[in-house]
Amino acid sequence: MPSVKLTAVMVERIKAPTKGRLEIMDSIVTGLSLRVTEKGHKSWCVSYRVGSPTVRRLTLGPYPLLDLVKARDAARSALQLVERGIDPALARAEQARAEADRRKDTVEALVGRFITKYAKPKNRDWRNTERIFDRHVLPKWRNRPVDSISRKDVVQLLDSIVDKGFPSAANHTLAAVRKMFNWAAERGELESNPCLYIKPPSKVVERDRVLTDIELVAVWKAAEQMGYPFGTLVQMLLVTGQRREEVAQMRWEQIANNTWTLPRTRTKADRAHDVPLSSLAMAILSSIPRFTGPYVFTTTGGKKPVSGHSKAKARLDAKSGVRDWCIHDLRRTCGTGLARLGVPLATISRVLNHAEGGVTRIYARHSYLPEKREALEVWGIYVDKLTIKGGRNE
């Protein structure tokens, strides 16, 4: 078949054949041809041989979507693969399959891999990260292909959380999503992170909410009405001053000699922590049913720790009438109460298992167990008397 030097004008003006199909070879790029059907449809293809004398054809695309310049570039790229012994048709098919696989990779699937392969092994607080995705991310992005998430999508997600009145949650969501996309990009699962250049939507404001005695009594009484496990959990949080997830995942084998020992793997401070259990704390524990599973607070017979904290907190608010507080404020209320009762700050810090640094971390090996026990006993007596009397006006 003779070849001609195709031009843009020539390609545009070529008439459709009256019958069959017309094929014109390009003399500039060997193997490139323009096909014209009797209905006037024009398309580009390239002919080549790989590993055998049989001529193969690869359709490059339709005209005018692919003009002459683009068609020549596409043909040259295909022929470069041929020179390397690669069949461009097979390479295109493989690329199409890979693209289809990427499209099938949803945000939900990526979240699952991120939690299993990164968050669980490396983050003691991984359950909070999982909750962030379950509550804020998956309801909007669950079935979206991962590579379809844009910077605009991230901004809109954060704006929606802020608009609902949860600015702090928006900041936490950005941190979790950014880490997940960074992790995926490092593994070659994503070309770029759509969170790039996005700043936290809200200024971080340190909370200073402490329940008054009247509020403390109201919450305590509401927790009594709710009963086990959520109400009892709230009471234990208040009398021990420990973090929610630490108490929620308390196990029976960790309790001995009126002391609850948290292993290093279960504390935010990355060190084992002994929590002396006051008389009030032991009374709470004695009221709890024992199941075959190891967890103290559970709805599954002890097999798994209790969950569903948000719904339980909403019920607690409705029963107590106390507003504008979060579960972590119980920990701050305990620490503030200890200070008000004259407990030294160093002891309060040990009770709450705050992080230590410098010389304190390296050389202060005293366990403070007697001091902590006395402090929590004093606090337990105070809470017990307060809730029996009904609180003071503060």
CATH number at residue 350: 1.10.443.10
Q: Residue 16 pLDDT more than 70?
A: yes
Average pLDDT over residues 11-19: 91
pLDDT digits (tens, 9 = 90+) for 26-85: 999 999 999 999 999 999 999 999 888 889 999 999 999 999 999 999 999 999 999 999
- Confidence at 219, pLDDT banded by 50, 70, 90: very high
- Confidence at 265, pLDDT banded by 50, 70, 90: confident
Distance CA 364, CA 244 (A): 27
Helix boundaries (H) for the chain = 8-13, 68-83, 88-104, 107-114, 120-122, 126-132, 138-141, 151-163, 167-186, 213-226, 230-240, 244-248, 279-286, 309-320, 328-340, 345-352, 358-363, 369-389
The confidence score (pLDDT) of residue 357 equals 47
Q: Residue 360 pLDDT more than 60?
A: no
- Confidence at 205, pLDDT banded by 50, 70, 90: low
Cβ burial, residue 116 (10 Å; 0-12/13-18/19+): exposed
77 and 111 belong to one structural domain: no
Give how far the C-alpha of residue 219 lies from the chain's centroid of Cα atoms, to the nearest Å.
Answer: 31
Tokens of 71: 């068609």
pLDDT digits (tens, 9 = 90+) for 223-237: 999 999 999 999 999
- Confidence at 365, pLDDT banded by 50, 70, 90: very low
Domain assignment present for residue 345? The answer is yes
Return the number of other C-beta atoms located less than 10 Å from residue 29's C-beta.
20
166 and 231 belong to one structural domain: no
Q: Which domain holds residue 138?
A: 107-186
- Confidence at 359, pLDDT banded by 50, 70, 90: very low
277 and 228 belong to one structural domain: yes
Average pLDDT over residues 200-219: 86
**pLDDT more than 90, % of the chain:** 72
| Of 156-160, 206-210, 368-372, minimum mean pLDDT range | 206-210
Please give the helix or strand (H or E) that residue 61 lies within, else none.
Answer: strand 56-63
Distance CA 235, CA 83 (A): 75
Average pLDDT over residues 151-157: 95
335 and 368 belong to one structural domain: yes
Could you give phi then psi for residue 145, rounded to 5 degrees?
A: -60, 140
Distance CA 271, CA 364 (A): 14
236 and 383 belong to one structural domain: yes
259 and 303 belong to one structural domain: yes
86 and 112 belong to one structural domain: no
Characterize the bridge pairing of strands 32-37 and 56-63: unpaired
Average pLDDT over residues 151-169: 92
Task: Determine the residue type at 6.
Answer: L
Domain assignment present for residue 195? The answer is no
The confidence score (pLDDT) of residue 100 equals 65
238 and 311 belong to one structural domain: yes
149 and 229 belong to one structural domain: no
Q: Output the domain CATH number for residue 26.
A: 3.30.160.390
CB-CB contact of 24 with 33 (8 Å): yes
Domain assignment present for residue 55? The answer is yes
Domain assignment present for residue 296? The answer is yes
Task: Determine the residue type at 385.
Answer: K
Longest distance between any two alpha carbons in the chain, whole Å: 105
pTM, to two decimals = 0.57
The confidence score (pLDDT) of residue 261 equals 95
Q: Residue 358 pLDDT more than 50?
A: no
pLDDT digits (tens, 9 = 90+) for 107-153: 999 999 999 999 999 887 788 899 999 999 999 999 899 989 999 99
Query: What's the domain count of the chain?
Result: 3
**pLDDT more than 70, % of the chain:** 91
Q: Residue 269 pLDDT more than 70?
A: no
Q: Residue 356 pLDDT more than 80?
A: no
Q: Residue 391 pLDDT more than 60?
A: no
